[in-house]
């Protein structure tokens, strides 16, 4: 996508409210071609939850600095992605993302699986080594250890008490 677009997602109170929207969460924007009320409707969608709102398409609901569904409709394919930036009481402001930035290619998926498998093995080996060290040092003391500081998403934290 050439330009940067922000959109307002409205109608959230008709679905699940603000609960599905977290700052940074990526939602899928899907053209709703069967919408009988708006021929340029774009639904905000999450897997397993499905529709959680719609991209605003009215001058009354589009926030300043964001584009309407009508303006965005011709600039995206059948779907696009957006990252939640702000959540208000009744709406959400999201940044429209390039599909290529969000979707992984098959090669990247295979590479990530291999990396993840190797990483799990390394964590297990580190945990065993750490446990042995603790048991040798003092069996009555509890230690807190962060095993992986580089990737906090899969960091194993906890107390080792022996």
H helices, E strands: number in the chain: 3, 8
In this structure, are 77 and 131 located in the same domain? Answer: no
Whether 1 maps to a domain, the answer reads no
In this structure, are 20 and 74 located in the same domain? Answer: yes
- Residue 146 pLDDT: 47
What is the distance between the alpha carbons of residues 116 and 118, in angstroms, rounded to a whole number?
5
User: How does residue 26 score in pLDDT terms, banded at 50, 70 and 90?
Assistant: very high
Structure tokens at 66: 């964001």
Whole-structure pTM value: 0.63
H or E element in which residue 158 lies = strand 157-161
Last residue of a domain, one of 83, 102, 121: 102
- Higher pLDDT residue, 38 or 156? 38
In this structure, are 121 and 97 located in the same domain? Answer: no
Instruction: Report the SS3 class of residue 77.
Output: coil
Asked if pLDDT for residue 78 goes beyond 80, the answer is yes
Closest CA to 83 of 64, 65, 101: 101
In this structure, are 93 and 118 located in the same domain? Answer: no
Among 40-49, 86-95, 132-141, the minimum mean pLDDT is found in 132-141
Total domains in the fold of the chain: 2
Last residue of a domain, one of 102, 123, 152: 102
Tens digits of per-residue pLDDT, 108-121?
666 666 666 665 55
Instruction: Report the SS3 class of residue 14.
Output: helix
Please count the other Cβ atoms lying within 10 Å of the Cβ belonging to residue 115: 10
> What's the CATH number where 20 sits?
3.30.70.2330
């Amino acid at each position: 996508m050439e330009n940067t677009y922000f959109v307002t997602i409205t109608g959230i109170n008709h679905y699940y409210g603000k609960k599905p929207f977290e700052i940074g969460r990526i939602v899928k924007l899907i053209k709703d071609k069967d919408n009988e009320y708006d021929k340029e409707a774009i639904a905000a969608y999450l897997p397993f939850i499905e529709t959680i709102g719609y991209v605003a398409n009215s001058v009354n609901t589009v926030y300043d600095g964001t584009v309407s569904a009508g303006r965005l409709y011709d600039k995206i394919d059948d779907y696009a992605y957006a990252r939640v930036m702000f959540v208000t009481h009744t709406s959400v402001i999201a940044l429209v993302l390039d599909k290529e930035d969000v979707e992984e290619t098959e090669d990247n998926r295979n590479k990530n699986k291999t990396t993840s498998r190797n990483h799990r093995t390394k964590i297990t080996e580190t945990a065993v080594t750490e446990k042995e060290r603790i048991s040798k040092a003092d069996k009555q003391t509890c230690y807190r250890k962060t095993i992986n500081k580089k990737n906090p998403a899969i960091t194993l934290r906890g107390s080792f008490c022996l």
